[in-house]
Amino acid sequence: MRIVLFLLLCMAALGGSHSMAAPNQTEAYYLCAHKITDNTSWNFGTAPAYCDIEPFGDPAFVRSYLSDIVFDTSRSVSAERSRYMNALNATIRDGAAYYLSVRKPDASADENDAWVEAIKAVANQETFWSHYRDAVVDGRMKMMRGDSGHGHGMMQIDDRWHFARINEGKGWQIFENLLYAMEIFYSEWQNAEQASCLADPNNWEQRTRAAYAAYNGGPSQICRWQQNPAWQDEGFLGKYEAKAWLDYIADAQQTAPVDVPCMLEGVEFCIPEYVPPPYSIANPEQPWQYNYLQLNSGEICLLENGSFHCVAQQQDAACLNAKFDRVSIASAITLDEEQSLAYPKQVYEKHACMTNLENSFRVGQSLVAEKAINIRQTAAGTDTQQDAEVGKVYQVLDIVAGTPADQSRYYRIRYQGESEGYIYAGGVRDFSDWASPAEHQRLEADDRIVAMPGDTLYVVNAQGIVITDVAGEQGTEIGRVEEGDELNVLDTQVIGQHNDLYYEISSNGQSGFIYSGSLLPSANLTDWTAFSPPQTDTPPPEPQPSDPQDSGGTLSYWLLAMLCMLTRRRA
């Protein structure tokens, strides 16, 4: 998983510096719907202005998976602030520590502690730890906005300097927000180590102040805090020294209510860790029977009939509930090695397990959109500002299961040419309100991506494709088809996290399975097969000789002419 986070950090770094280009001239409160300012103030968990999460993100996702780190305005403000701060303290603590463990695995314990405190102070300075707000005023899920609406979320990602990243979801989703902000701050944290204004690189207060000055004002301002302090530097120092958040923390070691490393890895539907109470006569609970179980080998499982039944990815766990007709508590007990070996284990392939979701579609099948459903970049992610067309037939390219209780599902579709995104398609009770099945033949030619039984394909891979006896990497080679061969598709199988595609085919008296590319992160099927025969390459026409009298000439002619002149001079 750490490799995934490293890749995310690399992508964040590509657009992380806010001093590389002039600001985008974004209007104040960019895409701010249903702005509220009443009964809000700068305090921990609250801010003067909030806007709807939409159109940037999915409010249903926040309510279902992140409700413990949402400030709920239907409760008493003082009681809610205390609850919220304890939950968010654990979240920021774990997020900052996990980030540094990946970014700088050799960091000392002192640096780790200093880094965590620095991130807490930055969050205090920027927003008083404010991000999500469940607004009783209009019942809508909102996100804080600062600096005339240009600052988005807890660490204040500014849409004037980070416009593209804001539209990619780095503002509304709290973990993407935190990750992106930490990447900027970490760059300055590292630069501060060599800054002339530090008496010692291990003077953590000075290093934190220098990193914040550059985080706020750009890399050139790294010594601003000492040479010509701005009001932000003074305000930050006050918050860093006061650590006022401690006034609200009853349990500094509280377990985070969400699986922070999982969220930072980019997994959307993470299952929070659950620490069960000890078994006793007074507490006869058998928590293993009612919760997800995280094995030390990484799988997420249910215990059923004396066996662990598992999937590899956390966000696929809902299919286990459907398979065993269970409503598990949406939390996971982490088992140690001995406990993980207590029962035999069966790991289900994702797509095989997903078939247990009632009335869901499989990858390759077609659906008709019954509503103008907003299309998101990821299942519960940033809105693309495009909607599915009511009545249009789409092919399913991926399936993601959401909340286990209602078996909600999201489908990846292609729209507007080559763009792809996810639509919400209801749950076990209301799936038919969102999408209905369609015949494969109803797909328009340009929308047909995955071949289904009865289709004809052609090999376009110049090296040909191996035929195996079964689908998947465990298959044994039994033949081969070559470029241009016509294939009759007998069956379609999708395997693995990247939606690897295998077709059962017959061709020229041969039959078996061929690999035909993958659908994720982006489709490459046309490197392998196509719905039409490959075009025969026509050799290019012979170039016409250049006319020496043509003043345009050609590069080759002029080089030849110069060579002749040099030869004559030497003669």
DSSP structural state of residue 273: B
Are 252 and 328 in a shared domain? no
Q: Which CA distances in Å does 269 have to 299, 315, 335, 494?
A: 14, 5, 20, 21
How confident is the model at residue 359, as a pLDDT? 86
How confident is the model at residue 507, as a pLDDT? 94
> Residue 12 above 60 pLDDT?
no
**Average pLDDT over every residue of 257-280:** 78
Query: How many Å apart are CA 143 and CA 66, to the nearest integer?
Result: 13
Helices (H), 368-453: none
Residues composing the chain: 571
How confident is the model at residue 404, as a pLDDT? 64
* CA-only gyration radius of the chain, Å: 29
Q: What is the pLDDT of residues 72-82, one digit of tens each?
A: 988 999 999 99
Three-class SS state of 505: strand
Are 315 and 381 in a shared domain? no
Are 304 and 427 in a shared domain? no
Query: Do the domain assignments include residue 461?
Result: yes
Query: How many Å apart are CA 382 and CA 179, to the nearest integer?
Result: 16
Query: Do the domain assignments include residue 105?
Result: yes
Are 431 and 460 in a shared domain? no
Output the CA angle 68-72-76, nearest 5 degrees: 120
User: Which of 317, 334, 354 finishes a domain?
Assistant: 354
**Average pLDDT over every residue of 440-456:** 94
Query: How many Å apart are CA 112 and CA 89, to the nearest integer?
Result: 16
Domain of 345 in residue numbering reads as: 267-354
Question: Poorest-confidence range of 38-42, 139-143, 428-432?
Answer: 38-42
Confidence of residue 328 (pLDDT cuts 50, 70, 90): low
Are 475 and 374 in a shared domain? no
Q: What is the pLDDT of residues 284-319, one digit of tens each?
A: 556 787 788 999 999 999 998 889 999 998 888 888
Query: How many Å apart are CA 501 and CA 154, to the nearest integer?
Result: 41
**What residues form DSSP beta bridges with 144?**
50
Q: Report the CATH number that the domain containing residue 507 is assigned in CATH.
A: 2.30.30.40
Burial class (CB in 10 A: 0-12, 13-18, 19+), 37: exposed
Q: What is the pLDDT of residues 30-82, one digit of tens each?
A: 999 999 886 678 899 999 999 999 888 889 889 888 999 999 988 999 999 99
- Which token pair is 369? 């959109």
Backbone CA torsion sign across 86, 92, 96, 101: positive
How confident is the model at residue 278, as a pLDDT? 61
CB 319 within 8 A of CB 354: yes
Query: Domain tally for the chain?
Result: 4
CB 525 within 8 A of CB 451: no
What's CA 324's distance to the chain center, in Å?
Answer: 29
Q: Report the CATH number that the domain containing residue 417 is assigned in CATH.
A: 2.30.30
Q: Report the CATH number that the domain containing residue 277 is assigned in CATH.
A: 3.30.2390
> Residue 550 above 70 pLDDT?
no
Query: How many Å apart are CA 300 and CA 347, to the nearest integer?
Result: 9
Output the CA angle 126-131-135, nearest 5 degrees: 135
Query: How many Å apart are CA 500 and CA 525, to the nearest integer?
Result: 10
Query: How many Å apart are CA 370 and CA 356, to the nearest integer?
Result: 23
- Rounded to two decimals, the pTM is 0.71
Q: Which residue has the tokens 């600052």?
A: 151
Q: What is the pLDDT of residues 94-117, one digit of tens each?
A: 999 999 999 999 999 999 999 999
**Average pLDDT over every residue of 461-467:** 95
Query: How many Å apart are CA 515 and CA 504, to the nearest integer?
Result: 9
Which residue spans within 223-351 are E strands per DSSP? 291-294, 300-304, 307-311, 329-334, 345-347
- Looking at the chain, the whole-number percentage of residues with pLDDT higher than 90 is 59
Are 181 and 250 in a shared domain? yes
How confident is the model at residue 532, as a pLDDT? 93
Confidence of residue 7 (pLDDT cuts 50, 70, 90): very low
Q: What is the pLDDT of residues 149-201, one digit of tens each?
A: 999 999 888 889 888 888 888 889 999 999 999 999 999 999 999 999 999 99
Query: What average pLDDT does the structure give for the chain?
Result: 85
Three-class SS state of 278: coil
Q: What is the pLDDT of residues 351-386, one digit of tens each?
A: 999 998 888 999 999 999 999 999 999 988 888 889
Nearest C-alpha neighbor of 29 from the set 48, 42, 43, 12? 48
Q: Which residue has the tokens 């008493």?
A: 76
How confident is the model at residue 555, as a pLDDT? 31
> Residue 566 above 80 pLDDT?
no
Are 222 and 96 in a shared domain? yes
* Residues contacting 521, CB < 8 A, separation 6+: 498
Query: Do the domain assignments include residue 559?
Result: no
How confident is the model at residue 101, as a pLDDT? 94
Are 77 and 166 in a shared domain? yes
Confidence of residue 24 (pLDDT cuts 50, 70, 90): confident
Are 197 and 334 in a shared domain? no
Backbone φ and ψ of 528, nearest 5°: -120, -55
Are 27 and 100 in a shared domain? yes
Query: Do the domain assignments include residue 552?
Result: no
Query: Do the domain assignments include residue 537?
Result: no
Query: Do the domain assignments include residue 383?
Result: yes
Q: Which residue has the tokens 């929070």?
A: 272
CB 315 within 8 A of CB 269: yes
Burial class (CB in 10 A: 0-12, 13-18, 19+), 26: middle
Helices (H), 243-377: 260-264, 318-324, 337-340, 350-354
CB 153 within 8 A of CB 160: no
- Which token pair is 133? 């707000």
Are 499 and 414 in a shared domain? no
Q: Which CA distances in Å does 159 have to 8, 164, 285, 403, 415?
A: 20, 8, 50, 31, 27
Are 494 and 436 in a shared domain? no
Three-class SS state of 159: coil
> Residue 19 above 50 pLDDT?
no
C-beta atoms surrounding 125 within 10 Å: 21
What's CA 3's distance to the chain center, in Å?
Answer: 14
**Average pLDDT over every residue of 120-135:** 93
User: Which of 300, 326, 354 finishes a domain?
Assistant: 354
CB 531 within 8 A of CB 458: yes
CB 157 within 8 A of CB 71: no
* Residues contacting 461, CB < 8 A, separation 6+: 483, 527, 528, 529
Query: How many Å apart are CA 68 and CA 259, to the nearest integer?
Result: 12
Q: Which residue has the tokens 């996990």?
A: 98
Query: Do the domain assignments include residue 434?
Result: yes
